[in-house]
Amino acid sequence: MTKARSNLQIDSTRLWGDIHDTAKFGATPKGGVRRLTLGAEDRQVRDWFRNACEKAGCEVRIDALGTMFALRPGRDMSKPPIGIGSHLDTQPTGGKYDGVLGTLAALEVVRALNDAGIETELPVCVCNWTNEEGSRFAPAMMASAAYAGEYTTEDILGRKDADGVTVAEALDTIGYRGADAVGQQRFSAFVELHIEQGPLLEAEHKTIGVVDRGQGIIWYNGTVAGFAAHAGTTPMPLRRDALAALAEVVLAVEKLARDHGPHAVGTVGEVRIDNASRNVIPGDIAFTAEFRSPDSATLDALHDGLQRAAAEIAARRKVAVAIEKIWRKEPTVFDKALVDAVETAAREMGYSHRRITSGAGHDACNLASVVPAAMIFVPCKDGVSHNELEDATQADCTAGANVLLHTVLALAGVASKTSG
């Protein structure tokens, strides 16, 4: 890897302004952002992003799943670009930084190169990946998974949200079903900047997380079928209460994760009681669950443990519990040379840093299976994310963007410099 060549920095005020300007698309009263993928607010931020990328001299292309690719030419256009970026969709009660920082910092890298009059050897491509969050359509990170060949484009286009709207219909509604085939935009490497979304960097007073691994993930859709009956007249021993059974499933998920600690986590995030009523014993429930671990064998053990626990709870309580695995993402090991390049950039910029495993899923984790990939983390306040309170400092966001800039300079190479 070539050394970072200068003390070139991104424009911190411009980046901070963009993060807060775009937060108006889907702003919530509590200071967060609700920008579900492919909804009206997503269209607004996409239009903003396309316009900003074009103003920065990029050609913007869109693929069949709506992922946006903004290309800054390099001297050698025979080579695929260095891809940088993240996502602009958010959780239903999301924050201002998850995904946004990495996407807007990537745009800021291009502007900083423009301002400094730097032509890179390789082109640079700023990306906004569709549906990273996975809260409207499952699975999460579906566009980058399709890019990596894990799903066909047709499969993903047919996925439905809770109202039965398909990805294809949602893309057409906002005008973002592009002409390019998924996978057409190749990369020489991909680097994603993101807030940590966990507590380690803040606790250790480190500015930069050099991400070398990502956790594996399993997602489930589950149902519990009991028997709906009168809450006042049905004696306790005769009940087949679906919610009481689900409560045991929730505790089993928690216990399994604790027992496989310290790095395993398990969550039941969504529960829907059909025809819920205060004086009816719940009869039918739908729920979601997930496990995560950096270790594949641990994921297997968690999966087997959940199936066993569910069967035992169902038999004892005379209810039916079905837990269907709908997605499994293997743990990620990021590219060693690229991870080293991120670390070198952090060190040469004088930022404190440490190696770190990503607890969250990211598009870079999918891309890592088809192209050398790496990630840069910066701290977020109290480690809180997927919450409107999500917060990060301007200094840390700037540091992350500077490390991204210098990683890009090292990977793309400098062809010529006319000013700056």
Q: Closest distance between ligand GLV and the C-beta of residue 71, in Å?
A: 26
* CA dist., res. 125 & res. 19, Å (int): 19
* CA dist., res. 52 & res. 374, Å (int): 25
Q: Closest distance between ligand GLV and the C-beta of residue 319, in Å?
A: 29
360 sits near ligand GLV (criterion: CB under 6 A): yes
Stretch that binds Mn ion, among 93-101, 164-172, 331-339, 373-381 (CB under 5 A): 93-101
- CA-wise closest residue to 194 among 37, 67, 380: 380
Q: Judged by CB under 6 A, how many residues of this single chain contact ligand GLV?
A: 4
The one of ligand GLV, Mn ion, none whose footprint includes residue 379, by CB under 5 to 8 A per kind, is none
Q: Is the dihedral of CA 90, 167, 38, 82 positive or negative?
A: positive
**Which helix (H) or strand (E) covers residue 357, if one does?**
strand 353-358
Look at strands 189-195 and 265-273 and give their pairing: unpaired
| Angle at which helices 336-348 and 394-412 cross, to 10° | 120
* CA dist., res. 244 & res. 247, Å (int): 5
Between 133 and 161, name the residue whose CB sits nearer to ligand GLV: 133
99 sits near Mn ion (criterion: CB under 5 A): yes
Between 198 and 305, name the residue whose CB sits nearer to Mn ion: 198
DSSP SS3 for 209:
strand
Q: Which of 18, 63, 89, 133 binds ligand GLV (CB under 6 A)?
A: 133
* CA dist., res. 189 & res. 367, Å (int): 9
3-state helix, strand, coil in the chain (%, to 5): 35, 25, 40
The one of ligand GLV, Mn ion, none whose footprint includes residue 361, by CB under 5 to 8 A per kind, is ligand GLV
140 sits near ligand GLV (criterion: CB under 6 A): yes
98 sits near Mn ion (criterion: CB under 5 A): yes
Tokens representing residue 148 in the block: 């990596």
Stretch that binds Mn ion, among 99-107, 257-265, 287-295, 395-403 (CB under 5 A): 99-107
For the segment 234-293, give every residue that binds ligand GLV (CB under 6 A).
none
The one of Mn ion, ligand GLV, none whose footprint includes residue 140, by CB under 5 to 8 A per kind, is ligand GLV
361 sits near ligand GLV (criterion: CB under 6 A): yes
The one of ligand GLV, Mn ion, none whose footprint includes residue 241, by CB under 5 to 8 A per kind, is none
Interface residues with Mn ion (CB under 5 A)? 98-99
Interface residues with ligand GLV (CB under 6 A)? 133, 140, 360-361
